[in-house]
Amino acid sequence: MRKNYKVTYTRKGYKPKKKLDVEKFFMHIGLPILIIAVLFSGVAIAKNMSTPKYDETIIGSPYSEQLLSLPAPTPTPVPRDDGVAPSFEAEYVQAYNGYEGEKIAYLTFDDGPTSNITPRILDVLKEKDVKATFFVLGKMVEAYPEMAKRAVQEGHVLANHSYSHDYKSVYDSKESFFDEIKRSEELVINTVGEEGYTRVFRFPGGSAGKPDEYKLALSEIDYVYVDWNALNGDAEGHNVAVSTQLANIKETTNGRSSAVILMHDAATKDTTVAALPQIIDYLRSQGFTFKTLKR
């Protein structure tokens, strides 16, 4: 360390006095530290750039299932003795609803209703004469009951996506899981009536990795659940480009006769509204007709 100091002299007696040579110290000690810090920052930035970005305004993001085919369902959905399926994954919707041999697209919208996006989506659906399923949050129906009523009045169906979408609340225990579902159900039915509601549940974040106990327990309260096997990718950002959404639809519906399509009517989904007419036109061009998930 001696080389990082320089000798100076005082007026009295010209005695030598050591003083830190800042320039030499920086060259020998500070510069290497700075270089190391820059390298670590570069690694962090590179890692961040390589990580997919998801729209954090959708509570529960990121959606780890983005652009992946559904895994093999667990447990395997087998109709009960009374003919009701304990689960209702996307790959099995056709068989349970009796549409085998047809190409059916089920447009589904999660996390609404909202005051700025839902009405515009409803406008597009009305113009295109398409019915859809809205996986609503109880708290959003509570906030925007008129949007929920309008959707049902125009022939759409409301399904259950929990009350809060808060993972800690939804998945804390079987009791809290049921409470979230029943609280949302009560709000929706009191708002739009039984006819506008279907007892189909979508797990916040999807069912993959969720406890089998919760999946099997749904039949106790007369529910089935459905994930998705196609998507527009609008969970990846606030305003995912229309061209990207259409490309995602083409990729994830390719080769399917039953497409349960994940989209969102959350407040930041302006480009979802813009993409929807093209998505509908494309699906029709591929021979799809449209159904709801009404049981």
How confident is the model over 222-237, as pLDDT tens digits? 888 888 889 999 988 8
**Residues 156, 161, 165, 264: which is the catalytic one?**
264
Name the residue with higher pLDDT: 103 or 18.
103
* pLDDT tens digits, 83-111: 443 445 555 565 555 566 789 999 999 99
Task: Say if residue 53's pLDDT is above 50.
Answer: no
* pLDDT tens digits, 105-128: 999 999 999 999 999 999 999 999
Architecture of domain 90-290: Alpha-Beta Barrel (3.20)
* pLDDT tens digits, 157-168: 999 999 999 989
Average pLDDT (30-40) is 70
Q: Alpha carbon of 136 to those of 11, 15, 113, 283: distances in Å?
A: 83, 83, 6, 24
Q: What is the pTM of this model?
A: 0.72
**Residues 110, 111, 227, 265: which is the catalytic one?**
110
Rounded CA separation 250/255 (Å): 10
* pLDDT tens digits, 275-287: 999 999 999 999 9
The residue extents of the domains of the chain are 2-50, 90-290
Task: Say if residue 293's pLDDT is above 80.
Answer: yes
Q: Is 55 a catalytic residue?
A: no
204 neighbors 162 (Cβ within 8 angstroms) = yes
Q: Is 222 a catalytic residue?
A: no
Closest CA to 258 of 231, 230, 295: 230
